Amino acid sequence: MQLTYVLILAALLFCIGIYGLVTSRNAVRVLMSIELLLNAVNLNLIGFANYLDGQQIKGQVFAVFVITVAAAEAAVGLAIILAIYRNRQTVDMEKFNLLKW
Amino acid sequence: MLQSFADTVWLIPFYSLAGMVLSLIWSPGMTRKTGPRPAGYLNLLLTFFSFVHALLATVAIANQPPQYLHWTWLDVAGLHFDVPVEISILTTTALMLITGLNLMAQVFAIGYMEMDWGWARFFALLALFEGGMGALVLLDSLFFNYVMLEILTLATYLLIGFWFNQPLVVTGARDAFLTKRVGDLVLLMGVLAIYPLAGSWNYDDLAAWAATAQVDPTLITLICLALIAGPMGKCAQFPLHLWLDEAMEGPVPASILRNAIVVGTGAWVLVKLTPVLSLSSVALTGLLVIGSVTALGGTLIAIAQVDIKRALSYLVSAYMGWVFIAVGLKEPGLAFVFILTYGVAMALLMMSIGSIIWNSITQDLRLLGGLWSRRPISGISFLVGSAGLLALPPLASFFPQAELLDTAFAQLPWVGVVLLLMNAFAAFSLGRTFCLIWGGEVKPMTARSPEVFWPMILPMTVDLGLVLHLPILMGRFDWVIWTDPSLTTAAALTLTAILGWGAAAWVYLGRAIPKPVQFPLPSVQDLLAYDFYTPKLYKATVVGAVDMISRMTAWFDRTLVDGTGNAFGGATLLGGDRLKYSTTGQSQAYILTILMGVALLVIAICWPLLA
C-alpha cells in the first residue's frame, strides 16, 4: 500500500469520469461523471494528507469542503437540467447545440 | 530712358502671362453682358506693349555686348541653380519676331474667330504660347529651355484641341502631344546626362566646356543624339513629323504661329547647342541626314497634298530640316538668321491661305481656282511669301540659304545638291498651290469668294511689307554679317526656284496635262499623297507595340498581381468558412478541446523537466 497506487487509482477514476463526461448523451450521467471526477480529487487529497501531511491533515479539511461543494453543485446542476427539460422536453446533450456554427 | 527698356526686357513674358490670367474674367459664365471679345482686345493690347517694349529694347542695345541677369531658383544641399537671362541683340530680335508675329496673328484672329464664342480661351492660349516662347528665348539655360519647350507642348495640345467637339481635332491634339513628348523625353535624358559632364546648363558655359572637353566619344555621341531628339519632335522632322500635319485641324491663327515660330523654338535650342553637338561627328552626320531626308521628303509630300494647310505644313518640316542641315554644317549664325526670315515669310503664307479658307468653305485645292481676279491681295501676299521663303534674291531668306549652299559645296557637295533639290521642289509645291488657288477657272466653291474684311487683310499687308523690307531692316540693324555669295551659287538657287515655280505653272496653268494631274506611276503618287504611309507605319510599329505591351502588362497585372492578392483573400475566406464547423455548439466537444489543450500545455511545460 503506497501513495503511488492511491494516486494511480485516483487518476484512473478521473479518466473514467472524463470519458463519461465527454461521451455521455444523458445530462444526468454527465453530472454523475462530474461526481466521479470530484471523488477522484478527494482520493488524491486524502492520500496526500495521509502520506505527506500526517500532522496537520490539511487535505482532509479540503476533502470535506469538496464534498460540500459537490453536493451544492449537484443540486444546482440537477436544477439546471430540470429547467432545460421543462423547456425542451429532453435531456439529450446533443440536442443542446443552439450555438452551432 | 531707352536703356531701362533693355534692362527690363525680361518683363515681356509676364505681359502675356498677365493677359492670359486676366482672360479668365471673360470665361463663359461671365460673358452674358459683354460677350467674350474684350478678352481678345486685352490680350492684343498687352501683346502690343510687349512688341513696343521689345522694339525699344532692340534699339537700345543695338551695338552693346550681351548682358546676363541671374536669379536664384534652387539652392539646396550644395546644388545651386540660377535662372539665367540673356539680354542681347539676338534675344531682343527674337522677342520682337515673336511678339510681332503674335500681334499679327491676334489681329488676324479677331477677323478669323469672328463668330466664335471661345475668344477668352483662344486668346489666353495664344498668350501662353507667346509667353512660353518669349521666356524660351530669354532664358539662357538648356534646362529652363526644356521647361519652356514642355510648356509650349502643352499650349500646342490645347490650341490644336481648341474645337474639341470634332474627333479629328482630338486625335490631332493627342498625337501632337505624344509625338513631342517622345522627343522631349529623350531630350530630358540628354539634358540630365550632360550636367555631370559640363557642370552647367548655361549655353555659354556649355560652349566654353565643349571647346576643351575631353570626353568618351561614345558617351558624347549618345548625349548629342538625345539632345537632337527633342528638336526633332518639335521641328516635325522625319520620322516624328506626322503631328504637324494633324495639327492643321486647329484654328488658322494658331497654325500661323505654330508654323512660323513655334516649330522654330526647337530649332532655337538646337542652334544654341551647336558647340556641344560639334563634339560628335556622328551627331553632325545624323543632323545632316535627318535634315536632308526631311527637306526632300517634306517638299515631295507637300507637292502631293490636296489640302492647303497640309501642303504648307510639310514645307514647314522641310524648312526646319534646312535648319538641321545648317547646324550639321556648324553654321549657327545662318540658322538664326534663317529662323527669322523664315518665320516672317511663313506667317505671310499662312495668313494668305487662312483668308482663303475663311470664306471659301473648302480647304481642298482641287475645288479652288480662279481667285486672282477676286482675291488679289491674298494672291500677292502668297506670291511674296513664297518668294520670301524660297532662295530668291533680293529677299531676305536668299542670303542665309546662299551662304549655306556655298559652305555645303565647299565641305560636303551632296548636301549642296540636297539644298538645291529642296529649293526646286519647294518652289514647285508653292507654285502648284498658287496656281491651283489663284490660277485656272473659277469653280463653284470660289465663285462667291470676295476679299475678306480688314482684321485679316491688315496683318497680311503689314507682313507683306515686312517680308519685302526685311533685307533692308536686317542690314540696318546689323543682324547679319553679310557675305557675298558667289555668282554661281546665286544663279543656281535662283534658277532652281524659277524652274520649280515655272514647272508648276506649266503643269497646273497650261492645258498640256489633263487635270487632276496623274503621275505616270500611281504608286509613287500614292506614296507621297499618303505621307510615305507614316500613319500605317506608326500603327504597325510603335503604336502596335505599345498596344501589345499594354495588353500584356494589363494581363499580368490582372492575373498575376491582382490574382495573388485575391488568392490570399480567397484563402482566408475559405479558411473561415471551413473552420466555423469546429464550433459544434456541443458543450462536451468544448470540454474535450479544453482538456486536450490543457494536457498539451502541461506536457509542453513539463517536457524539459521530464527529459
Residues whose CB falls within 8 Å of the CB of residue B345, separated by 6 or more in sequence, listed in order: B385, B386, B388, B389, B395, B396, B397, B467
Q: Compute the nearest-CA separation of A55 from chain B (Å).
A: 30
B81 close to B74: Cβ distance less than 8 angstroms: yes
Q: Could B585 and A93 be called an inter-chain contact, meaning their C-beta atoms sit closer than 8 Å? A: no
Q: How far apart are CA B421 and CA B403, in angstroms?
A: 16
A25 has pLDDT over 60: yes
How much is the pLDDT for B100? 93
Judging contacts by C-beta atoms under 8 Å, the chain B residues touching residue A101 are: 580-581, 583, 585
The predicted-structure confidence for B206-236, as pLDDT tens digits, reads as follows: 888 888 878 888 899 999 999 999 899 889 8
pLDDT in tens, B490-517: 888 899 999 999 999 988 888 878 777 7
Instruction: Count residue pairs from A and B with Cβ separation < 8 A.
Output: 31
At residue B527, the pLDDT reads 85
Of A27-31, A68-72, B150-154, B201-205, the least confident: B201-205
Beta bridge partners of B83: B71
pLDDT at B478: 65
pLDDT range class, residue B202, cuts 50, 70, 90: confident
* A93/B584 touch (CB, cutoff 8 Å), yes or no: no
Residue B483 pLDDT: 65
Look at B584 and A30 and tell me if their CB atoms are within 8 Å.
no
**Is the previous residue joined to B393 through a cis bond, with omega within 30 degrees of 0?**
no
State pLDDT tens for residues B330-373: 888 888 888 989 999 999 999 999 999 988 888 888 888 888 88
ipTM: 0.88
DSSP for B216-246?
A: -HHHHHHHHHHHHHHHHHHTT-TTS-HHHHH
pLDDT-derived band at B575 (thresholds 50, 70, 90) equals: very high
Residues of A in contact with B586 (CB under 8 A): 93-94, 96-97, 100
What pLDDT digit, counting tens, does each position of B36-62 carry? 888 889 999 999 999 999 999 888 887
- CB atoms A100 and B580 under 8 Å: no
Grid coordinates given for B284:
553632325
Residue in chain B closest to A95 (alpha carbons) equals B586
List residues in chain A touching B: CB distance below 8 A.
18, 21-24, 30, 93-94, 96-101
Q: Using pLDDT thresholds of 50, 70 and 90, give the confidence band for residue B25.
A: confident
Q: What is the pLDDT of residues B120-138, one digit of tens each?
A: 889 999 999 999 999 999 9
B585: nearest CB among A21, A30, A98: A98
Across the range B83-112, mean pLDDT stands at: 91
φ, ψ for residue B481, nearest 5 deg = -90, 110
Cβ proximity of B87 and B66 under 8 Å: yes
How remote is the C-alpha of B573 from its chain's centroid? 56
User: Is residue A11 a contact partner of residue A3, using CB atoms and an 8 Å limit?
Assistant: no
Please answer yes or no on whether B581 and A30 come within 8 Å at the CB atom: no
Q: Chain B closest CA to A47's CA: distance in Å? A: 23
Residue of A nearest to B581 (CA): A101
Return the bridge partners of B68, or none: B86
Reply yes or no on whether the pLDDT at A31 is more than 90: yes
CB contact under 8 A, A96 and B591: no
- CB spacing of B586 vs A94 below 8 angstroms: yes
In chain B, whose CA is at the least distance from the CA of A20? B588
C-alpha cell at A67: 464534498
- Those residues with Cβ within 8 angstroms of residue B251's Cβ, 6 or more apart along the chain or in another chain: B109, B112, B113, B122, B159, B162, B163
Q: Percentage of chain A surpassing pLDDT 90?
A: 84
**B594 pLDDT higher than 90:** yes
A100: distance to nearest CA of chain B, Å? 4
Contacts of A96 in chain B (CB under 8 A): 585-587
Grid cell 550639321 is found at B328
**CB distance from B580 to chain A under 8 Å?**
yes
d(CA B389, CA B384): 9
DSSP A96: -
How many other C-beta atoms lie within 10 A of the C-beta of residue B177? 18
Residue B504 near residue B435, CB atoms below 8 Å: yes
* Average pLDDT over every residue of B536-560: 93
Q: How far apart are CA B161 and CA B167, in angstroms?
A: 10
pLDDT of residue A5: 94
pLDDT at B519: 81
Q: Residue B481: pLDDT above 60?
A: no
Range A40-63 average pLDDT: 93
* Nearest residue to A23 via CA among B579, B20, B591, B72: B591
Out of B78-82, B475-479, B556-560, give the one with best mean pLDDT: B556-560
- In chain A, the residue whose alpha carbon lies closest to the alpha carbon of B595 is A18
Question: Is the pLDDT at B477 greater than 90, yes or no?
Answer: no
Q: How many helices (H) and strands (E) does chain B have?
A: 26, 2
Amino acid identity at A65: F
